[in-house]
Amino acid sequence: MSTAARTKGLTYKDAGVDIDAGDEVVDRIKPILRRTYGPRVLGRHGGFAGMFRLDFNEKLFKRNYKEPVLVACTDGVGTKVMLAAERRIFDTVGIDCVAMNVNDLIVQGAEPLIFLDYLGLSKLDPKDTTAMIEGVARGCEIAGCALIGGECAEMPGIYKPGDFDIAGFCVGVVELDRAIDPMRVKKGDVVIGLESSGVHSNGYTLVRRIIADAKLDLDATYEELGPVWGAEPLWKLLLEPTRIYAKPIVRLLASYKKKRVVSGMAHITGGGLPGNVCRALPKTLDAVIDKRAWTPHPVFPFLQAHGGVDEDEMFRVFNMGIGYTLIVRPDFADGVIAKLRKYGEHPHVIGRIDKGTGEVRWG
C-alpha cells in the first residue's frame, strides 16, 4: 500500500486533538462563566478576547477611581495538580489557581477585576475540563472578579495521558494614592496573620516526597490529624483549596476611606513567613514574629513528623497555618481585627515591626 493510501483521511482527532470536544467545552462553560459576570463585562461568549468596562458610569461602579493603576499577576498551582490528576479531582485546583493570583494582587491594595485561565491537557475530556473551569469560576465568585476568557490546549505530545496543568492571569485596579507601599511601614506597627486552610498551593514536591518515603496511604484516615481532619482521607486534606482573602481585604481597605491604617501586606506562599513578610518591609526594619501566637494547622506537624523535616525548613517551605499577613498601625490593630472577624477571617497578632535590615526574625 502506498504512503498516500495509508494516510488518506487522517484527521486532527486521529493525531490526538479533538476539535469537537473543545467546542463542547465552550458550550458547557457558557453558564459557568456568566455567573462571574457583572455589568462591566462586555462582548459575547466564545469571542477572541474578553472585554471589561473602565469608563466613568455611576450606574456600573460602586466607586470610581480618580487615578486608577492597573495591577496584574500570573501564577499556577504547581505540583499539587499531580495529586489532583491522580485522584481525578479537578474542580479544587481551579479555586487554587484563582487564589494564587488574587491573593498576590490584593497585596498591592488592588481590587481584582478580571481573570483568565490556561489549561494544558493530554486529552480534552468535556466533563473533566468543565469541572476544572467550574472550579476556576467558583474561585472567581469567591474573589469577586469576572472570568472573561481562557484557553484549553490539548497537547498529547507534551502531556502524558491523564496529566494536566493549570495557570491563570488576573488584572485588578487600585487608586494611585491608596497603593500599598513598604516605605510606609514604621517601627511599632503590628503584624496580623490570617489563618490558612492547610498547605494551600506551595511545597507539594516536598509533600509528595514525604508521602512516598513514609509510605502514607492517601485513602487512609489518621487520628493524629485531630477530630475533624482525622475523620477524612488524607488526599482530601491535601487537596483542600487555597483560601481566597480578596473580599475581606478589599472590604477592609475600603472601610478606611481617609486613614491608611494598613501599611503593608504579604501573601504567604513559597518561602513561608520568612520569605514573604520581608517583601513588605523597607530595608531598615524587621518583622519580629512570635511562633507561639497561633496554632499551626494539623497538617504541618503531621508532615513534619512523618518526613523528619527540621522546623526551620518547615517554616521556609510552608505557610504553617498563616496564609496572609497585614502590617497595621498599632492604634488601629484592635479595630482591624474586629473587622476581619466580622468578615469571616480568623486573625491573630503574630508579631511587631522593629529596627533591622528588612528581614523576618523569630521573637
Q: What is the pLDDT of residues 102-142, one digit of tens each?
A: 999 999 999 999 999 999 999 888 889 999 999 999 999 99
Task: Report yes or no on 195 lying in a domain.
Answer: yes
Task: Report yes or no on 2 lying in a domain.
Answer: no
Looking at 160, 178, 196, which one is the last position of a domain? 178
Cell matching residue 351: 508579631
Question: H helices within 35-176, ranges in order?
Answer: 80-87, 92-105, 126-143
Question: What residues pair up with 154 in beta bridges, in sequence order?
Answer: 121
Q: Which residue has the cell 477585576?
A: 113
The whole-number pLDDT of residue 31 equals 73
Number of domains in the chain: 2
Q: Is the pLDDT of residue 3 over 60?
A: no
The whole-number pLDDT of residue 58 equals 53
The whole-number pLDDT of residue 34 equals 75
What is the three-class DSSP state of 260? coil
CATH number at residue 221: 3.90.650.10
Looking at 178, 210, 242, which one is the last position of a domain? 178
Mean pLDDT of the chain: 89
pLDDT band at 317 (very low <50, low <70, confident <90, very high): very high
Rounded (10°) angle between helices 92-105 and 80-87: 160
Residues 187 and 166 in one domain: no
Q: Is the pLDDT of residue 2 over 50?
A: no
Cβ(89)–Cβ(241) below 8 Å: no
Spatial CA neighbour of 93 closest among 165, 45, 154, 25: 165
Residues 219 and 148 in one domain: no
Q: Is the pLDDT of residue 14 over 80?
A: no
Residues 163 and 190 in one domain: no
Q: What is the mean pLDDT of residues 271-289?
A: 97
pLDDT band at 232 (very low <50, low <70, confident <90, very high): very high
- Give pTM, 2 decimals: 0.88
CATH number at residue 95: 3.30.1330.10
Residues 139 and 254 in one domain: no
| φ and ψ at residue 352, rounded to 5 degrees | -145, 165
Could you tell me the residue range of the domain that residue 128 belongs to? 10-178
Cβ(59)–Cβ(38) below 8 Å: no
Question: H helices within 49-189, ranges in order?
Answer: 80-87, 92-105, 126-143
The whole-number pLDDT of residue 124 equals 85
Residues 65 and 200 in one domain: no
Residues 358 and 316 in one domain: yes
Cβ(43)–Cβ(50) below 8 Å: yes
Amino acid at the residue 75: D
Residues 79 and 106 in one domain: yes
Looking at 131, 163, 178, which one is the last position of a domain? 178
Task: Report yes or no on 346 lying in a domain.
Answer: yes
Spatial CA neighbour of 196 closest among 333, 94, 96, 72: 96
Residues 209 and 130 in one domain: no
CA angle 333, 339, 345 (to 5 degrees): 100
The whole-number pLDDT of residue 62 equals 55
pLDDT in tens, 233-266: 999 999 999 999 999 999 999 999 888 999 999 9
